Amino acid sequence: MSPLTTLWVLPLAGAGACLLAGRLGRGAARLCALAAAASFLAAALLALLPCLAAGGAAVFAEGGRTWAFGISYRLAADGLSLSLIALTAFLTLVCVAASWTLDVSAGYWACFLALASAATGVFLARDLFLFYVFWEATLVPMFFLIGLWGSENRRRAAVKFFLFTFAGSLLMLLALLALVTARHAASGEWTWDLESLKGTPLGPAAPWVFLGLLLGFGVKIPIVPLHSWLADAHTEAPAAGSVMLAGVMLKMGLYGLLRVSFPLMPGLTAAWAPTLAALAAVNAIYGALCAMAQADLKRLIAYSSIAHMGFCLFGAASGTSQGLAGSALQMINHGLTTGALFLLVGFLYQRAHRRGLSDFGELAVRAPWLSFFFGFATLASIGLPGLNGFVGEFLCLAGIARSAPPVFAAAGVLGVTLSAAYALPAYQAVFWAPAGPGSASAFVADLDAREKAILWLLCGLMLWIGLAPAGWVAFLEPSLRGLVR
């Protein structure tokens, strides 16, 4: 099997193996999941190596046969795809390791691996039908993760998540169908190949196709006001599910914009850039303001995700090489930082079964490592220079400052300013303030060795990207160069 196919088949095979191993017992399924996640990560890093050697520019392509209606099995990978796949693999392993002590059935582990497989497919597919199939396939395992292993209101959140994202996907499908039909009308040839569809004459339908794609991807990113599903889904999902949701699924939306929308319709992208930048500004500020008003840690982090994705959108909208590189890097950063925060809240929830800001207190004294890592990730999330979040935000905003009037950069910087106003009061309430009567702090034991190891890994990466981002940027930038222009 060729290397790129292996990348998405491997975790899926792992999911199947988990289900089989589940018949032997829960421990066997867990072990199987760990092995599958580890080998997936190894495969992802191995696939990354030749691309690294080529300075991120190399594009590995695999073309298969073509089916009816021009649907073809066509995969390709460049620096952007491979980085996101490596992130997916890394987070999958982190999720498996973080859920190690949960008493769950084989299906739980299989869902993570199936999700990883589908997301990998999204990042690899270069045939739009294939892209759509993988895109929809991510919904199913995530739906079950939320609906079966979530907290109190899981059913409602799962259904809401499904309906919102499914509606978005349908709009995307309609747009893709319009595109493919237009192509057929123009050249008499059916094709879903991304490369061949470039330059398809769409006529007056063009803005509608662009809008359809924007709405489809925008639900996932999510762009305000399409974000309503996010807070509920994040809040009710199990901790590791939130990690995948934030770390992988939100990235698919922005990846779709960069990979599909922008190259297919460069003219419209340029024309819509100010609108996109305005939407980014709304995301950054609206997300921060909403986060300030939350009383639940998970909801707060969910809204902060909206703000962070606003920065990614700024970078993408700028169309400059700084902005695009920043946007791609910020996707990775957000996966690491927000992933770490969701994990930590998950550890808290596992211990105390609560996650309200006022449910805790004094944790800095009771659980110093938990509070250290939470503080570290919080600082990365609010863009402290020297950590990863700053690099991404900085590059995105540097891009928008170059390509747009200063007011957009100012809005972005305002978002950075506000981030401290939601993150630090929350940190103080949980870790510094005295534990009130009825506080759950007494149940919170400090992190154990496994949990610490996971967080050292995540925080180490945050520090690495923050201090020496040059290599990361240089790796991502070549694949972005061709996307807009």
| Contacts of other proteins in 233-272 (CB under 8 A) | none
Minimum distance of other proteins from residue 169's CB (angstroms): 15
Q: Is 137 in the site for other proteins (CB under 8 A)?
A: yes
Told to check if 458 binds other proteins by CB under 8 A, we report no
Beta bridge partners of residue 356, listed in sequence order: 296
Q: Positive or negative, the Cα torsion across 44, 46, 50, 53? A: positive
Cα 176 to Cα 293: distance, rounded to the nearest angstrom: 39
Provide DSSP, 18-76. HHHHHTT-HHHHHHHHHHHHHHHHHHHHHHHHHHHHTTT---EEEEEEE-GGG-EEEEE
Q: Which of 294, 296, 439, 443 is nearest to 361 (CA)?
A: 439
Site for other proteins in 67-106 (CB under 8 A): 67, 73, 106
**Cα atoms in the 13 Å half-sphere on the side-chain side of 103:** 0
Q: How far is the CB of 473 from other proteins (least distance, A)?
A: 5
Instruction: Decide: is 413 part of the binding site for other proteins (CB under 8 A).
Output: yes
Considering only residues 47, 111, 124, 254, which one is a binding residue for other proteins as defined by CB under 8 A?
111
Tokens 């998540």 sit at which residue?
A: 161
Under the binding rule (CB under 8 A), the answer on residue 19 touching other proteins is: yes
Residue closer to other proteins (CB basis): 122 or 433: 433
Hey, which residues between 191 and 230 contact other proteins (CB under 8 A)?
A: 225, 228
Residue 202 per-residue DSSP state: -
Asked if residue 417 binds other proteins (CB under 8 A), the reply is yes
- Residue of the chain from 160, 251, 298, 366 that contacts other proteins (CB under 8 A): 160
Beta strands in 67-154 (DSSP E): 72-77
- Please compute Rg for the chain using Cα positions: 21
286 scored as a contact of other proteins (CB under 8 A): yes
Residues in region 359-398 near other proteins by CB under 8 A: 362, 364, 379, 384-386, 390-391, 394-395, 397-398
> Is residue 153 within the footprint of other proteins (CB under 8 A)?
no
Q: Closer CB to other proteins, residue 253 or residue 383? A: 383
Report if residue 352 touches other proteins, rule: CB under 8 A: no
Q: Please report whether residue 290 would count as binding other proteins according to CB under 8 A.
A: yes
289 binds other proteins (CB under 8 A): yes
Does position 293 interact with other proteins (CB under 8 A)? The reply is: yes
CA torsion angle for 290, 293, 299, 300 (degrees, to 10)?
80
Dist. CA 288–CA 416, nearest whole Å: 9
Q: What is the DSSP letter of 428?
A: I
Say how many residues touch other proteins, by CB under 8 A.
81
Of 148 and 270, which has the nearer Cβ to other proteins? 148
Our CB check for other proteins shows the closer of 207 and 356 to be: 356
Q: How far is the CB of 47 from other proteins (least distance, A)?
A: 17
The answer to the question of residue 319 lying near other proteins (CB under 8 A) is no
Number of C-beta neighbours around residue 471 at 10 A: 12
